[in-house]
Structure formats: C-alpha cells, structure tokens
Amino acid sequence: MTTQNELLKELETQKYKYGFITDIEADVAPRGLNEDIIRLISSKKNEPQWLLEWRLKAYRHWLTMNEPTWAKLKFEPINYQNLFYYAAPKQKVKPKSLDEVDATLLETYNKLGIPLKEQEALAGVVAVDAVFDSVSVATTYRAQLAEKGIIFCSISEAIKEHPELVQKYLGSVVPYSDNFYACLNSAVFTDGSFVYIPKGVHCPMELSTYFRINAQNTGQFERTLIVAEDESYVSYLEGCTAPQRDENQLHAAIVEIVVLNNAEVKYSTVQNWYPGDEYGNGGVYNFVTKRAACRGVNAKISWTQVETGSAITWKYPSCILQGDNSVGEFYSVALTHHYQQADTGTKMIHIGKNTRSKIISKGISAGNSNQTYRGLVDVNKSATGARNYSQCDSLLIGSNCGSHTVPYICNRNKSAVLEHEATTSKISDEQLFYCQQRGIKEEDAVGLIVNGFCKEVMQKLPMEFAIEATKLINISLEGSVG
Amino acid sequence: MEKKLLEIKDLYAGVAESGKEIIKGLNLTINAGEVHALMGPNGAGKSTLAYLLAGKADYAATSGNVTFAGQNLLSLKPDERANAGLFLSMQYPVAIPGVSTNNFLKHAVNAKRKYMNLPELDAAEFLKLLRASAQELGVTTEMLKRELNVGFSGGEKKRMEMLQMQLLQPKLAILDETDSGLDIDALRIVAEGVNKLHTSENSLLIITHHLDLLNLIKPDAVHIYYDGHIVQSGGKELAEKLEQSGYKSFVEA
C-alpha cells in the first residue's frame, strides 16, 4: 500500500510543465463588459456593420441568460465585469513571415515544443495558424493552400477578405442564443481560425492551430469556423497549452463546422491548459461549444480529443446528422487529477435516414478529481435506420477521485438501433505488483496501463499528434516532471 | 567453490496490515546453479514466502535477513528486485486489460536492459527475440497479440509466465505452484522452461505439491515446509516419501 500512496503523492504534487509567462506588452481594453467594449472590439478589428450588430444582439440576449447549473461542477461564481475582453500583442505592422514575428513570442512557442521555424522547414507537413492571446500572429503555408483554393486564415482576416462566406455560415451551426457561454462568445470573440475547403478538394496537409492564454485576466473567446464543400476533406488539429497563473482564467470558445455532400472533416484536439495546483488553486475554466453539422448526404465528422488540462471543463462536441447516410464520431480521452473537474461528452442528433454515430469515451481520474461523462443520443422521427454505438469506460487511480456516467438516450424512431456499453475499473495493486515484478517501475506501469486503456482513441489521432498526446498523458501521470 | 545466491536467515514475517505471523523462523540457502523444491500443505505459507521475497506490499518481515546476490533484498523495491534477477512465476497471474502481451513483454525486457545499461531493443529486434522464445514454449503469435492474461486459460497463463522467465533470464526464478492444474503436455513445457533456464549460474526455487514436475527437473534439494518453517531437508527421496505417507509423517517426526 505504501508504494501506491507514494505514487499518488507524486501524482498530486507534480508541477505543470508549461507554467511560464511571456513578457509582452498587451494592448488591453478596460476591464468589464458593456456595449461600448463590444463597439471597441469591433472597431479595433475594423469590422463591418452587420457583424457589430450581430455582436450587440448576442450581448443583449446574453444579459437575459443565466449560467447553466446542470453540470456536475462546483466553482465560485465568475464576475464577468472583472475580466478583460480584448488584448492583442503590440505590433506595429502585421508580420509577413516568421522572421518578423516578436522573438519573445517565438521563444514561448519553442518552450512549448512548437518550433514554428522548424515546422515551416518540415516540408509542408503541418500548417500552423498560431493564435497568441486573441490575434493571429503567424500563418504559414497559406500560399501553398491558396493554390488549391483552400482558405486557412484567422477569422478576422476572413471577415475582411471573405465576408460573404463568413456571413453565410457564422452562427449557422451554433446560433448566438445557443447557450450562456456561446452567447458571450458571440458578443466578444476576438479571433480564431477560418477554414474553407472548396468542392472536390482533398486538403493535402493537416491544418493546425495552437492556442495560448497569456495576458492576465484575459478572457479567451476564440471562434473557429470550418466549411467543407461537397466531396472535400480536411483534417484539423487544435493544440493548447497555457502558462501558469494563480487566478482562474475563463475560456469560452466556439467551433462551428459545416460538412456538405460526401465531405469529411476530422477535428482533433490535444488540450493541456493549466489545471490548477495540487490544492485546487487556479487553473483554466473551459466552457466550450463545439458543434458540427453534416448537412449533406454521406457527410462525415469525426471529433477526437485528448484532454488533460483545465481546472473546469464543460464541453460536449456535437454532431448534427442532417444529411442521409451521414456519420458522426466522437473519440475522447479525458484525464483529471488534483482537484480538476470535467463534465464532458457529446451529442449525436440523428435527423437524416441511415445516419450513424459512434462514441468512444475514456475517462481517467486521479487525485481528488471528478469526472462526468454526459452524452446525448437523440434520434428524430425522420431518422429511419439510424444507428448508434456508445462505449464509456472509466479508469480510477486511487480512492479519492470520482467518475460518473450520464447517458441520455432519446429515440423516436422504431427502426433505430442503439447500443450503450459502460465500464468502470481501477488500477489494482495486483496489476501494479505484477508489472513491477517484471522490472517495470510503478509509475511506468501506471503509464503502460493508462496508455493501453486509451489506445483505441489515440489511434484515431494523426501520427505526430498521437505522439504528443501520449507524451502529455505520461507527463500528467509521471510526477517526475517539475 | 559454492556461490551463495539467496540466503534467508531466521526470517519471521506475516501480513503487513494485521501483523499476523505466517513465516516463523525460516532458514534457507540457495547457491548459484541449484534447483530447490519447497513442498508443504495448503496454508503453510508457501505463497507468502514467494510474495515476500518478490516484495509484495501486503507482506512484511518482522525480523531476520534475506540476502540476494550480495544485496539486502528486503530493502529493495519490487522492480529493483526483479531487475536484480529475481523472478516470480505467479500462481494466479493477473490480467491487464488494454495492454497487449507483446507490448508488455517489450516493456519488461527493455526495463531490464535499461537497468543493466544496455541499449533498449527496438520493435524489430524485440520481435526477433520474442518469436524464438515463444515458439519453443508453444506460445502462438495470436496469443501475443491478445491483452495480457485476458481470457487466457490456466495453461496459457502458465505458459506466459514461462515465456517471461525465458525472456528475462533471472538469476533466481521462484515458481509458485506453476505446475498446479496443468495437463501432462503443459507440465512438460514448464519442465522444459525450467531446464532451459537452469545453468551453472541460474537457480530455481520450485514451490509444488506434486512429484510429477520434480521427476522432470531433478532438484538438488527438497525442503518440507510446515507452519512457516522448514521441518526437513534432503534429496528427491523426501518428495517420494511425502507422496507415499503425506505431511503427517514429517510433522510427527
């Protein structure tokens, strides 16, 4: 028992590896939120009138809303008037290449293991649209992509250069009134990514964005919009790390994806925002709305996520399966320790005929953390022949953590076939002893068992991301990393 | 000259939590290259001894010394004992869902290589090593792809223990009733595994109830273990006597 306790202690006392703060002067709007702040954001970004009006409409609606309380999460109320809603790194001219990017900024990315320069040299494997705080600072490979008609840029640029596309699709999957956090985001979002894949185009590289939260008390409100036209394909990667902070940081992002006839979008996330310290102080509050609409026939969306960060996670990447034969998939690994809380899952809304969905959720809880899988499978009357398979597995490490599974199933069509499986297991002393008896150190044994537990999901990640994600899981478990 | 590999002196030990004493004044010396058999009735504390030597946290020594390959064994962590060359073939190997047998074995082999300051084997090198050993022990490729001990039959589990023993080449292998419940073919595989490991350097401690295995492996010494200590030591004739007249004859003697 003593060795198990030692391990738990290590798990509990390990430090966040990426806790450092970049010293860059931020161009910050005054604290608080009102219509003037929204006008300021909009004017700073030279936005068209329709967008300002949309933001204001969202803001006025938000004022009538309350925070959702149904999630199994406990936290002190957030004072939304105490936050900054706009911060941009000070730069006189927008850089044309990485050489012109602030050296401190590049250094930050290097510490995170995202050497942009190296990536640029990596023969077009990954294109990076790096978002620092709220403003996009560097976009690589755009020219190459442009040749194929692919648009990959910050959403601010898209608003200026492709207003018709943005106006057509912005808020079409997640309406501004959708939920409290999405509504707030619609009012104050500052930047994010925009991806447009034209008809018949197979995007030749993985598109990737790294988000970081930096300036103190800066709310992060990214907005990502991906549109995949008929017969197109794209794989998009989102990776996040944030520097260590004592105060809680709010993050309320939106990702909207539109998938048309015979198109496919793969969206992968590795998230390791600061989870708070071993006593539950600090950490990122992550309230995200991610949703994809399969509007065309045979459209396919696949969400894959590996999450080890944030003090609080409230996140349910969803699939609206409108087109006949469309497919939605959700593969998730969530690892919580210390006092982290995660209420996460997915929603599969079957509308079209013969729509199929698959949910594989793996939750790992350690320390004093608490995790809830909350999922909805909703089969409409019209969804004849719909199929769903759900599998929710939980793995507990130690005796002070919690794991809960809350699957909602709503079926209005007799022909639908729905399956749900759930397991809960604990890494036993017997298993650890067996591994140790074969010469494997206890912490490596935990890593081995945990990696085996989430293998099914890891395999869904693009290769280079899978390696990063496995590293992240091991870092989160090891405790030897200070 | 005889080289002491394992030396147990006046060992008293029991359940860590309750303090219940199970091993009561045990003395045993195993030299390099020797095969010893330990026979005793159910509940005599044979498995406790095996687990205690391997370092399972459920058991603790209250007094006495155990020296293994020149080190104070009881001060080492279980993985350090394993890498120092102590292997325990378990009576009930535990299943580890999600971890493929292949991958587990690779981790174990590389953990030992790392301990010995040898370069770790890559996937191809390891596979070569694994295939050769697996074939000899009748472990199929299909079995290696399965999750470790998940859904394995009793015989398959024991075979897997023998495969691990073969791969790790321990200085001392303790077989805790590895022969229990095996058919004659499986028993032969265990015996072959034992005989292959057994060199002038490597030793074995075989915990068993049955003469069958001992007939196949020819032990250097047989110990009759009763109520936490050895009541009589001798050659294979002890095992034969035991087969005929049971433990009672030793206890009363």
Q: What is the ipTM of this complex?
A: 0.95
- CB contact B107 to A (< 8 Å): yes
Domain interval for residue B144:
4-252
- CB contact B115 to A (< 8 Å): yes
Give the pLDDT band (50/70/90) at residue A131: very low
Q: What is the mean pLDDT of chain B?
A: 91
Over 50: is that where the pLDDT of A124 sits?
no
Residues in chain B closer than 8 A to A441 (CB atoms)? 79, 111
Task: Give the pairing type, strands B96-100 and B203-208.
Answer: unpaired
Could you tell me the two tokens for A24? 């860059």
- CB contact A441 to B (< 8 Å): yes
Over 90: is that where the pLDDT of B53 sits?
yes
Residues in chain B closer than 8 A to A1 (CB atoms)? 16-17, 57-58
Over 70: is that where the pLDDT of A12 sits?
no
Q: Rounded to two decimals, what is the model's pTM? A: 0.81
Higher model confidence: residue B15 or residue A129?
A: B15
Residue A297's alpha-carbon distances to A79, B95, B225, in angstroms, are: 44, 44, 74
Over 80: is that where the pLDDT of A101 sits?
no
Residue A173 pLDDT: 96
| Closest-CA distance of chain A to residue B94, Å | 6
For residue B57, give the nearest of A3, A425, A428 by CB distance: A3
Over 50: is that where the pLDDT of B66 sits?
yes
CA atoms A61, A65, A71, A74: torsion sign = positive
Residue B219 pLDDT: 92
Q: What is the mean pLDDT of residues A128-147?
A: 56
Residue B47 pLDDT: 92
- A452 and B97 within 8 Å at the Cβ level: the answer is yes
How many structural domains is chain B composed of? 1
Residues in chain B closer than 8 A to A442 (CB atoms)? 77, 79
Over 50: is that where the pLDDT of A136 sits?
no
- B168 and A436 within 8 Å at the Cβ level: the answer is no
Q: What is the mean pLDDT of chain A?
A: 82
- A455 and B88 within 8 Å at the Cβ level: the answer is no
Higher model confidence: residue A181 or residue A1?
A: A181
Find all residues with CB under 8 Å of B139, minimum gap 6, and list them. B133, B159, B160, B163
- SS3 of chain A: the string is CHHHHHHHHHHHHCCCCCCCCCCCCEEECCECCCHHHHHHHHHHCCCCHHHHHHHHHHHHHHCCCCCCCCCCCCCCCCCHHHCECCEEECCCCCCCCHHHCCHHHHHHHHHCCCCHHHHHHCCCCEEEEEEECCEEEEECCHHHHHHCCCEEEEHHHHHHHCHHHHHHHCCCCCCCCCCHHHHHHHHHCCCCEEEEECCCCECCCEEEEEEECCCCCECECCEEEEEECCCCEEEEEEEEECCCCCCCEEECCEEEEEECCCCEEEEEEEEECCCCCCCCCCCEEEEEEEEEEECCCCCEEEEEEEECCCCEEEECCEEEECCCCCEEEEEEEEEECCCCEEEECCEEEECCCCCEEEEEEEEEECCCCEEEEEEEEEECCCCCCCEEEEEEEEEECCCCCEEEEEEEEEECCCCCEEEEEEEEEECCHHHHHHHHHCCCCHHHHHHHHHHHHHHHHHCCCCHHHHHHHHHHHHHHHHCCCC
- pLDDT tens for each residue of B67-121: 999 999 999 999 999 999 999 999 899 999 999 999 999 999 999 999 999 999 9
Residue A114 pLDDT: 52
Residues in chain A closer than 8 A to B55 (CB atoms)? 433, 436-437
Q: Domain containing B109 — which CATH number? A: 3.40.50.300
Residue A45 pLDDT: 85
- CB contact B209 to A (< 8 Å): no
- A449 and B104 within 8 Å at the Cβ level: the answer is no
Could you tell me the two tokens for B67? 């020296």
- pLDDT tens for each residue of B236-252: 888 888 888 888 888 76
Q: What is the mean pLDDT of residues A339-361?
A: 96
Give the pLDDT band (50/70/90) at residue A280: confident
Of these ranges, A87-91, A241-245, A417-421, the one predicted with the greatest mean pLDDT is A417-421
Interface of B with A in 141-200 (CB under 8 A): 147, 164, 168
Task: Give Cα B133 to chain centroid, integer Å.
Answer: 18
Whole-number CA gyration radius for chain A? 22
Task: Look up tokens 């095992």; give the residue.
Answer: B239
Of these ranges, A14-23, A36-45, A201-210, A326-335, the one predicted with the greatest mean pLDDT is A326-335
Could you tell me the two tokens for A56? 């204001």
Over 90: is that where the pLDDT of A109 sits?
no
Mutation for B interface: A360, A393, A434, most B CBs within 10 A: A434
Q: What is the mean pLDDT of residues B211-218?
A: 88
Over 60: is that where the pLDDT of A50 sits?
yes
- pLDDT tens for each residue of A284-304: 889 999 999 999 999 999 999
Over 80: is that where the pLDDT of A207 sits?
yes
Q: What is the mean pLDDT of residues A340-361?
A: 96
| Closest-CA distance of chain A to residue B167, Å | 10
- CB contact A93 to B (< 8 Å): no
| Closest-CA distance of chain A to residue B166, Å | 12
- B57 and A435 within 8 Å at the Cβ level: the answer is no
- CB contact A46 to B (< 8 Å): no
- pLDDT tens for each residue of A375-416: 999 999 999 999 999 999 999 988 888 899 999 999 999 999
- B94 and A431 within 8 Å at the Cβ level: the answer is yes
Residue B14 pLDDT: 93
Judged by average pLDDT, the poorest of A36-50, A64-78, A245-259, B174-188 is: A245-259
| Closest-CA distance of chain B to residue A428, Å | 10
CA atoms B158, B159, B160, B161: torsion sign = positive
